[in-house]
Amino acid sequence: MAAHLQDQTKLSNGVGMPWLGLGVWQAKDGEEVVNSVKWALQSGYRSIDTAAVYDNEEGVGQGIKESGVSREEIFLTSKVWNSDQGYESTLQAFETSLKKLDTDYLDLYLIHWAVKDKYKETWRALETLYKEGKVRAIGVCNFQTHHLDDLMADCEIKPMVNQVELHPKLSQKELREYCRENNIQIEAWSPLGQGKLLQLPLLNEMADKYGKTAAQVILRWDLQNGIVTIPKSVHQDRIVQNADVFDFSLTDEEMAAIEGLNEDDRIGPDPDHFDF
């Protein structure tokens, strides 16, 4: 169980991945994302999650450089976008991401969505990058159990991570179980439901009890469930606050009550009905 901001989970290949990181979706390239990354790293974060489609990889790279934290200490994730999927095009997209991030390797490279009839070829490219040592771990985003079954029927290397929309209103219990059984680390994007869950009375009651915020209660729930979580913020105080979740624990009853908020309610697209 994570006890510190820099604690890591061990992926199936033995690589360590921090339990808590900074997501930079919708952080504008330039000063906004540069500052967010710098603030996070300087306050102790060691994991940054970006993607080609976020259009801020250059700023992320700059923020890492300006943070003063060495690249080797940082777990850096990016993702191949849908229009770049396929074998050769994925290899090219990866090189473009490396250039923009100004680094010579990634810690984790993910397929952003399960584009039908393309994700297997895309995965083959990720296997190639992994074998060549250009990326320390490979995985997927937004894959349902049937996508994973399909991929694993043919792949040489199993995905190490599945990053999905996951929060108390969409707790993904079946997918979490599946990933646990297959030694795939589950990771939550939009863990705070883009802020829409922060008014829920149950979460605020717990927050009051522990002298925390509703956001901190949700992130603590993630960690106690063995879920890697990457809350996004561009505000220094919020970035610091989101990481201050290692000095309290939710009870079993509280964990179950938060699980009980689930309504299978998505904020983002449905992976089975996404218009690629």
User: With contact defined as beta carbons under 8 Å apart, do 90 and 118 qualify?
Assistant: no
User: With contact defined as beta carbons under 8 Å apart, do 83 and 115 qualify?
Assistant: no
d(CA 62, CA 34): 6
d(CA 89, CA 139): 17
Annotated active-site residue in 45, 54, 109, 119: 54
Residue 119: HSE in the Cβ half-sphere, 13 Å Cα cutoff: 26
Could you tell me which of 118, 171, 173 has the C-alpha nearest to residue 140?
A: 118
Task: Give catalytic status of residue 54 as yes or no.
Answer: yes
Q: In what order do the strands lie in the sheet with 138-141?
A: 22-23, 47-49, 75-80, 108-111, 138-141, 161-165, 185-189, 228-229
d(CA 61, CA 153): 36
User: With contact defined as beta carbons under 8 Å apart, do 255 and 202 qualify?
Assistant: no
Scan for tokens 């904020």, then name that residue: 267
Any idea which residues carry the catalytic annotation?
A: 54
